[in-house]
Amino acid sequence: MRWTPGGTSRNIEDRRGSGGGGFPVGPGMGLGGLVILILGLLFGGNIFDGGDGTPAPTPPGQSTTQSGDVAVDETPAEKELVQFVSYVLDDAQGVWVEKTPALGAEYREAKLVLFRNAVRSGCGVAQSAMGPFYCPLDEKLYIDLGFYDELRRRFGAPGDFAQAYVLAHEIGHHVQKITGTAGRVREMQERRPELANELSIRMELQADCYAGVWGKSTDQRKLLEQGDVEEGLNAAAAVGDDRIQEMSTGSIHPESFTHGSSEQRKRWFMRGFESGDPRSCNTFEGGV
């Protein structure tokens, strides 16, 4: 993906120098959510640490930056990654400023919180093993950048556009909050608990479709390079419920899906990418 380093977005909250702990307790929406948390437990704790519950050692060559009043140690590669997620965040939010009126809403910017190991959000305390997530209560996205290493190594989805897809999906959840979709779905889940999983799947697939809508915009502006779309599709497939269940338990149980299968996630990403129109992302009508 073609992008221009430009420092850190004003919508970044860098809490990598802060502590935290505990498990997620609130209604956050994420790329893998509790499924990835379960995967982390099955692999012996936090999937982003050394395997025994202690943070992985920091590679040599790190530097120190300031996050508010807290010093943050980071490698040159991590510093560049912060600039990349800043670029994607600002670019995607700029696109949604133009796109949300078609959905009957006015876009307002979300914040992206960078953290390590654990973080306190408006939805409660979360660990890195939960994966990237969006909290509708404080309208912030949360990510431990170590997730991208796991996406590449453990889930087999490398590439910068795979990384961009992750953020674009979470921003899709923010669009759902702004348009009222998230609130309506939560109310329905409370009234019809037997439909909770199905409605969750439809929410996640719509966020995938919204990620595709942003992807189409990058294509129209000649920002995509050969293989980028495939990277996005690989990332969508990597976090399908069937893929994660098979990796973690060796079996697949569709009745417990909450995010959609790999095939569904790829298909809805491409629906948004091919149309470039968020109105094509109505996952709540018909089958998915």
Alpha-carbon gap, residue 66 to 51, rounded angstroms: 28
pLDDT 10s digits, 77-98: 999 999 999 999 999 999 999 9
Q: Report residue 124: phi and psi, to 5°.
A: 120, -170
Q: What is the pLDDT of residue 45?
A: 31
pLDDT 10s digits, 2-12: 998 888 999 99
Range 236-249 burial, b when 16+ CB lie within 10 A, else e: bbbbbbbbbbeebe
12-51+64-280: CATH topology? Collagenase (Catalytic Domain) (3.40.390)
Q: What is the pLDDT of residue 28?
A: 61
β-pair type (63-67, 70-74): antiparallel
> What band does 74 get if pLDDT is binned at 50, 70 and 90?
confident
| Tokens, residue 268 | 């809805």
For residue 226, pLDDT beyond 80: yes
- Cα four-point dihedral sign 64, 78, 57, 11: positive
Q: What is the pLDDT of residue 271?
A: 98
Give the residue-averaged pLDDT of 157-162: 96
Give the lowest-confidence range in 16-20, 60-64, 223-227, 284-288. Answer: 60-64
β-pair type (133-135, 140-143): antiparallel
- The mean pLDDT of the chain is 86
